[in-house]
């Protein structure tokens, strides 16, 4: 039983910038099943946060249970689950920071409220509202107190981005960055994010974060902040091998391990792995064996990386100096997107233990990707 604790409107957190149909999340990164699930529920969002822990937000997909929801949590690799959803929240999005810390957004008009837990869903605290009317912003937290609400507007290759930051768990918000002035004036002020291209903003610490671009033509830029989003610096990205016929975009997110950082870049219909060894000041491509193709890139450490596509896992344990290919028992159809923030569709907690989220199905491997087991979620 979940005990619900109500407090004065204090803690305002985050909402994923997704497209909603009712309460079902439709995202190219974590897709909701188009057909009704066998037991009436479908997994809308999967958020792994360790070798054994996964949060799963489920929604009703049949006429009989339309509007029903669940928030399931496993801490033992899927052997058992607990429904930890609060009783008075119409969930519109979720975010998980760890096995104990997670947040829900409740409702979307005219105000979006927040529910927060610090004990794995045993207790929920009712907080304040998002700083944007209708909940039209994407929130994420790097700690229990420091977080951001990022509003993105635009299409057809350009995007206005406004970032709000909280340092008190959402009780108050301050606008720290906006490039709205560039709509009328193309000049990019020093320290600002340019209006051009679509963007994904991901924060990795209370002060450090990334703006990953998706551009219709040319090489997508990469920006970094060291002051919580107030100012941004463009990082060097070397040109990938070959032409850029259809533009390029970065996969979320930049994974950092000391002075080493790893990120995937989509170039047309194939993936290039980029790495930095100088504290993310500049990035260069690393050769991937085989014919160019699309991969989901995940880094476990500075030298241990896993790439997944179809029924193959490409693995390196020495930073790309050598690779091994594993043929898996499952052929995945995985998709990347530049959304903010997004749980990974492939997540390796160690070199051997990993999770994959494919269209309302959750899979787990404990042998580095040779074999995957589908993990059943209650009600799905």
pLDDT tens, 181-203?
A: 887 777 888 899 999 888 889 99
Q: What is the pLDDT of residue 36?
A: 34
Give percent of the chain above pLDDT 90.
Answer: 52
Q: What pLDDT digit, counting tens, does each position of 17-46 carry?
A: 223 222 222 222 232 332 234 456 788 889
Question: What is the per-residue pLDDT for 29?
Answer: 26
Integer Cα distance of 117 and 123 in angstroms: 6
- CATH no. of 3-182+190-375: 2.130.10.10
Position 39 scores a pLDDT of: 59
Angle at 340 between CA 369 and CA 22, to 5 degrees: 95
Give per-residue pLDDT as tens, 35-94. 234 456 788 889 999 999 999 998 876 544 556 788 999 999 999 999 999 988 888 888
Q: Give me 71's structure tokens.
A: 């928030």
pLDDT of residue 155: 58
Residue 351 reports pLDDT greater than 90: yes
Mean pLDDT of the region 262-290: 95
What is the structure's pLDDT at 370? 95
More confident residue, 22 or 242: 242
Give the residues across from 346 on adjacent strands: 356
Of 108-122, 268-282, 292-306, 359-373, minimum mean pLDDT range: 108-122
Give the model's confidence band at 308: pLDDT under 50 very low, under 70 low, under 90 confident, else very high. very high
Token pair in block for residue 129: 């509202």
What is the CB-side half-sphere exposure of residue 11 using CA atoms within 13 A? 25
> Which pLDDT does position 293 carry in this prediction?
92
* pLDDT for the residue 111: 81
Per-residue model confidence (pLDDT) at position 113: 84
- Spatial neighbors of 143 by CB under 8 A, at least 6 apart, are 97, 206
Q: What is the mean pLDDT of the chain?
A: 83
pLDDT above 60 for 13: no
Separation between Cα atoms, residue 328 and residue 94, nearest integer Å:
31
Note the pLDDT tens digit of each residue in 314-324. Answer: 999 999 999 99
Q: Where are the domains of the chain?
A: 3-182+190-375
Mean pLDDT, residues 119-134 = 85
- Mean pLDDT on 255-265: 96
Give exposure, 12-27, as e/b (b: 16+ Cβ within 10 Å). bbbbbbbebeebbbeb
- Sequence-distant (≥ 6) Cβ neighbours of residue 243 within 8 angstroms: none
Residue 295 class from Cβ within 10 Å (0-12 exposed, 13-18 middle, 19+ buried)? buried
Q: What is the pLDDT of residue 260?
A: 98
243, burial (CB in 10 Å: exposed 0-12, middle 13-18, buried 19+): exposed
CA dist 215 and 200 (Å) reads 12
Evaluate the CA torsion angle 33, 75, 149, 201 in order and state its sign.
Answer: negative
pLDDT in tens, 89-100: 888 888 899 999
User: Confidence band (pLDDT; 50, 70, 90) for 336?
Assistant: low
From residue 256, alpha-carbon distances to 5, 42, 53, 200, 204 in Å are 36, 33, 21, 17, 8
pTM: 0.84
């Amino acid at each position: 039983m979940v005990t619900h604790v109500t407090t004065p409107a204090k803690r305002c957190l985050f909402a994923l910038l997704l497209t909603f149909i009712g309460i079902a999340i439709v995202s190219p990164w974590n897709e909701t099943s188009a057909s009704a699930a066998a037991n009436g529920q479908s997994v809308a969002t999967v958020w792994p946060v360790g070798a054994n822990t996964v949060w799963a937000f489920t929604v009703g997909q049949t006429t009989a249970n339309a509007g029903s929801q669940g928030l399931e949590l496993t801490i033992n690799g899927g052997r058992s689950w607990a429904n930890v959803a609060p009783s008075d929240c119409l969930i519109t999005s979720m975010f998980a920071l760890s096995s104990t810390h997670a947040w829900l957004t409740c409702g979307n008009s005219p105000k979006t409220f927040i529910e927060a837990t610090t004990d794995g869903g045993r207790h929920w605290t009712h907080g304040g509202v998002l700083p944007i009317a209708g909940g039209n912003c994407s929130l994420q937290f790097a700690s229990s107190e420091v977080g951001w609400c990022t509003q993105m507007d635009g299409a057809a290759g350009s995007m206005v981005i406004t970032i709000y930051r909280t340092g008190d768990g959402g009780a108050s918000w301050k606008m720290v960055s906006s490039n709205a002035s560039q709509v009328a004036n193309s000049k990019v002020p020093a320290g600002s994010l340019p209006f051009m291209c679509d963007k994904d903003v991901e924060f990795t610490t209370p002060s450090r974060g990334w703006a990953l671009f998706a551009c219709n033509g040319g090489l997508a830029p990469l920006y970094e902040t060291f002051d919580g989003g107030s100012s941004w610096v463009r990082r060097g990205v070397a040109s990938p091998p070959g032409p850029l016929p259809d533009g390029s975009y970065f996969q979320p997110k930049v994974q950092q391990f000391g002075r080493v950082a790893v990120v995937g870049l989509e170039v047309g219909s194939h993936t290039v792995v980029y790495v930095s060894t100088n504290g993310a000041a500049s990035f260069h491509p690393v050769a991937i064996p085989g014919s160019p193709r699309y991969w989901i890139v995940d880094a476990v450490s500075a030298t241990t990386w896993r790439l997944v596509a179809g029924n193959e896992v490409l693995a390196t344990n020495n930073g790309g100096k050598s690779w091994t290919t594993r043929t898996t028992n499952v052929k995945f159809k995985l998709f990347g997107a530049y959304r903010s923030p997004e749980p990974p569709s492939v997540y390796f907690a160690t070199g051997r233990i990993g999770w994959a989220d494919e269209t309302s199905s959750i899979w787990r491997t404990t042998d580095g990707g040779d074999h995957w087991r589908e993990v059943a979620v209650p009600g799905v």
